């Protein structure tokens, strides 16, 4: 009986984890494109999109950035660590789903 509710909940958690990974990737790519002057810095849509992505990712990246110093110059490794952590959690959820199903 508990499997009926738990499996869909786990699928929802897995989907949220995958979406979080893609949000982090999109934030990193858009920031790189702004740094490389590929995007026009006066484009309101891109500024709004970048602001939204930064607000979504900063909540997840802030604890990692506090505990992890910049190792290579000014390169920020916190998105890589966050993506690896989210992927690890996603794999755990998938394993639980496979055991329950």
Q: What is the pTM of this model?
A: 0.84
DSSP state of 79: H
Closest residue by Cα to residue 50 from 35, 64, 65? 35
DSSP state of 76: -
DSSP letters of 37-72? T-S-TT-HHHHHHHHHHHHHHHHHHHHHHHHS---S
Question: What are 28-47's pLDDT values in tens digits?
Answer: 999 888 888 888 778 888 88
pLDDT of residue 99: 87
Domain ranges of the chain: 2-61+75-100
**Structural contact between residues 87 and 93, judged by C-beta atoms closer than 8 angstroms:** no
51-59 average pLDDT score: 92
pLDDT of residue 93: 94
**Structural contact between residues 34 and 93, judged by C-beta atoms closer than 8 angstroms:** no
pLDDT of residue 81: 93
Least confident of 1-10, 14-23, 46-55: 1-10
Query: Cα–Cα distance between 95 and 77 in angstroms, integer?
Result: 28
Greater pLDDT, 17 or 65: 17
The mean of the pLDDT values for the chain is 88
- Cα torsion 46, 19, 79, 64: sign: positive
């Amino acid at each position: 009986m508990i499997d009926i509710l738990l499996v869909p909940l786990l699928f929802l958690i897995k989907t949220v984890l995958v979406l979080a990974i893609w949000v982090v990737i999109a934030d990193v790519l858009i920031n790189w494109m702004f740094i490389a002057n590929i995007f026009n810095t006066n484009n309101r849509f891109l500024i709004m999109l970048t602001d939204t992505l930064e607000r979504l990712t900063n909540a997840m990246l802030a604890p990692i950035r506090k505990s992890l110093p910049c190792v290579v110059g000014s390169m920020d490794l916190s998105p890589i660590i966050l993506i690896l952590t989210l992927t690890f959690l996603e794999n755990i959820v998938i394993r639980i789903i496979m055991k329950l199903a």
